[in-house]
């Protein structure tokens, strides 16, 4: 059995302009989003302090997924990796389906995040119409993504820096309140708040498990580091480092931050629709707390939308190169960005701004649940591809990766079972299951599209052996 050198990968024409600093921050930023800053409020109301355990459990599964992806990335680092590995190990249809589904995930996420960003700006400037703010952000981020991958990486670096700094500040302040008892929350802040009000599972284990769908939404985009593989300066060093630091990021930013907040403020004080971070700052008595958190959440929304434009353009190009999208998407601009793919994606995100403006507020929740369902499919394809890759390595058909996942395929099997369990929870929840109906319609549309593609070009359904070409 031979070992593959990771610098061997298809030359895709992209500029390898993402340095270690930027890849690290993209990975960190991918694990901190609006799902944590806003979504945690509703989940605390449902599960109480046990939400901490749900984030920890889901975090372990996310690490399994990322180590599986890491092994594949170091076997063959390519942009649009999930679709490419699905195509290689499961067949052309699965590559086609995964690529388009990941594109859908980011387009609907972009729709939601742009509208959210406009709402956050309304906090300071209520007189500015929401659609104007959303349109301004859409145009600015579109321009950033067109200019160069380096500018995208730099903007994402600073977006992530704001989120990380805010969370660390929140943890430090919370620990100070707990240790020294200062602020208006000092008298009631105590570690015993985690179990003093109807126990650690106040609504029962069943209610806690029902929050897993929201928890998984909070982790969406952590796999974005895989899309950067084709544009990383040194994937052999940057990707393993980004993936291996994931456990402490989850432990600190999710489990740590929630633990501190729920020690400082008892869980019964939190309500759906209110950021637990805003509430905690208010209880501690920091006057500008709400404005600070509002700025951080705005940053998180813009970061997510920025990442969405980046990844959708790359995924459309990957699909086009495989004959599964119009050939025009294969062209790169003079700055080596897939400009047409980004433009089309931005147009669809723009439609979402209009839709979110005219439809009831509940539509926002539907959009995020569709993104979750599409994300679960992507993660499942990563895991199944990893299991099949491991089989091929054991059989000696493929070279071993320089970054093998611990436990081989065992952890991937565990993660697959967990994701299927979460899908079952979504199906059980009357509000959330709407996204499964949408996904069924999406699958039917893609099946029709595949039939048309095969009729026009029968070769598209044939498996192709991946090429290994030196790039660095």
* Residues 400 and 4 sit within 8 Å (Cβ to Cβ): yes
Token pair for 237: 């060093």
Alpha-carbon gap, residue 13 to 305, rounded angstroms: 24
Residue 117, pLDDT > 90, answer: no
Alpha-carbon gap, residue 280 to 126, rounded angstroms: 24
pLDDT (0 to 100) of residue 18: 67
pLDDT (tens digit per residue) in 281-338: 878 887 777 788 788 888 888 888 888 888 888 888 888 888 898 989 988 887 778 8
Mean pLDDT for the stretch of residues 420-431: 90
pLDDT (tens digit per residue) in 435-454: 899 899 999 999 999 999 99
Give CA angle at 124 (121, 126), nearest 5°: 80
Question: Which residue's structure tokens are 């393993």?
Answer: 240
Alpha-carbon gap, residue 310 to 422, rounded angstroms: 28
- Please give the full DSSP string across 77-113, using - where no structure is assigned: --TTHHHHHHHHHT-HHHHHHHHHHHHHHHHHHHHHH
Alpha-carbon gap, residue 290 to 282, rounded angstroms: 7
Q: What is the DSSP code (8-state) at residue 254?
A: I
Alpha-carbon gap, residue 385 to 84, rounded angstroms: 10
Of the candidates 374, 404, 466, 422, the one whose C-alpha atom is nearest the C-alpha of residue 68 is: 404
pLDDT (0 to 100) of residue 417: 97
Residue 19, pLDDT > 80, answer: no
Q: Is residue 5 very low, low, confident or very high in pLDDT (cuts 50, 70, 90)?
A: very low
Q: What are the backbone dihedrals phi and psi of residue 232, each rounded to the nearest 5 degrees, phi first?
A: -85, 140
Alpha-carbon gap, residue 66 to 335, rounded angstroms: 30
Q: Is residue 466 very low, low, confident or very high in pLDDT (cuts 50, 70, 90)?
A: low
**What is the distance, to the nearest Å, from the Cα of residue 36 to the centroid of all Cα atoms in its chain?**
12
Q: What is the pTM of this model?
A: 0.86
pLDDT (tens digit per residue) in 214-244: 888 888 878 877 666 556 667 777 788 878 8
Alpha-carbon gap, residue 90 to 87, rounded angstroms: 6
Q: Which residue has the higher pLDDT, 64 or 270?
A: 64
pLDDT (0 to 100) of residue 13: 56
Alpha-carbon gap, residue 386 to 89, rounded angstroms: 9
Question: Which residue's structure tokens are 């701004």?
Answer: 353
- How far from 155 is each of 105, 145, 308, 327, CA to CA, in Å? 22, 10, 13, 30
Q: What are the backbone dihedrals phi and psi of residue 26, each rounded to the nearest 5 degrees, phi first?
A: -60, -40
Alpha-carbon gap, residue 122 to 128, rounded angstroms: 7
pLDDT (tens digit per residue) in 96-106: 999 999 999 88
Of the candidates 61, 59, 20, 75, the one whose C-alpha atom is nearest the C-alpha of residue 466 is: 75
- Round the average pLDDT of the chain to a whole number and report it: 83
């Amino acid at each position: 059995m031979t070992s593959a050198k990771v610098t061997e990968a298809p030359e895709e024409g992209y500029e390898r302009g993402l340095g270690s600093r930027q890849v690290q921050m993209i990975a960190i930023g991918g694990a901190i989003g609006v799902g944590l800053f806003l979504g945690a409020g509703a989940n605390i109301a449902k599960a109480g302090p046990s939400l901490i355990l749900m984030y920890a459990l889901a975090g372990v599964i996310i690490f399994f997924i990322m180590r599986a992806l890491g092994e594949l990335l170091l076997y063959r680092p390519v942009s649009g990796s999930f679709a490419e590995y699905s195509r290689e190990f499961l067949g052309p249809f699965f590559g086609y389906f995964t690529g388009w589904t990941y594109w859908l995930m980011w387009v609907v996420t972009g729709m939601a995040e742009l509208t959210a960003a406009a709402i956050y700006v309304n906090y300071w400037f209520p007189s500015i119409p929401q659609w104007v703010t959303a349109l301004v952000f859409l145009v600015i981020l579109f321009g950033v993504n067109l200019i160069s991958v380096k500018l995208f990486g730099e903007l994402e670096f600073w977006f992530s820096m704001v989120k990380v700094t805010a969370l660390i500040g929140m943890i430090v302040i919370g620990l100070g309140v707990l240790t020294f008892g200062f602020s208006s929350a000092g008298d009631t802040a105590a570690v015993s708040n985690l179990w003093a009000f109807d126990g650690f599972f106040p609504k029962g284990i069943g209610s806690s498990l029902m929050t897993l769908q929201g928890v998984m939404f909070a982790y969406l985009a952590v796999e974005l580091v895989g899309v950067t593989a084709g544009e990383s300066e040194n994937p052999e060093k940057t990707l393993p480092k980004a993936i291996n630091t994931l456990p402490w990021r989850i432990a600190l930013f999710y489990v740590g931050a929630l633990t501190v907040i729920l020690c400082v403020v008892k869980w019964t004080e939190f309500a759906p629709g209110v950021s637990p971070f805003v509430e905690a700052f208010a209880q501690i008595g920091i006057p500008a707390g709400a404005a600070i958190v509002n700025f951080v959440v705005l940053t998180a929304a813009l970061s997510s939308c920025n990442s969405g434009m980046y990844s959708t353009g790359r995924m459309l190009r990957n699909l086009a190169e495989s004959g599964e999208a119009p050939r025009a998407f294969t062209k790169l601009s003079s700055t080596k960005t897939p400009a047409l793919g980004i433009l089309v994606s931005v147009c669809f995100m723009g439609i979402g701004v209009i839709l979110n403006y005219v439809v009831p507020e509940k539509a926002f929740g539907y959009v995020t649940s569709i993104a979750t369902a599409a994300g679960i499919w992507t993660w499942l394809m990563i895991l199944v591809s990893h299991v099949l890759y491991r089989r091929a390595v054991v059989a000696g058909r493929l070279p071993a990766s320089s970054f093998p996942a611990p436990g081989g395929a065992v952890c991937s099997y565990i993660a697959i079972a967990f994701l299927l369990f979460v899908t079952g929870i979504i199906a059980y929840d009357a509000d959330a299951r709407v996204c499964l109906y949408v996904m069924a319609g999406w699958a039917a549309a893609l099946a029709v599209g595949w039939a048309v593609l095969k009729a026009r070009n029968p070769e598209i359904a044939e498996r192709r052996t991946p090429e290994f070409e030196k790039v660095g």
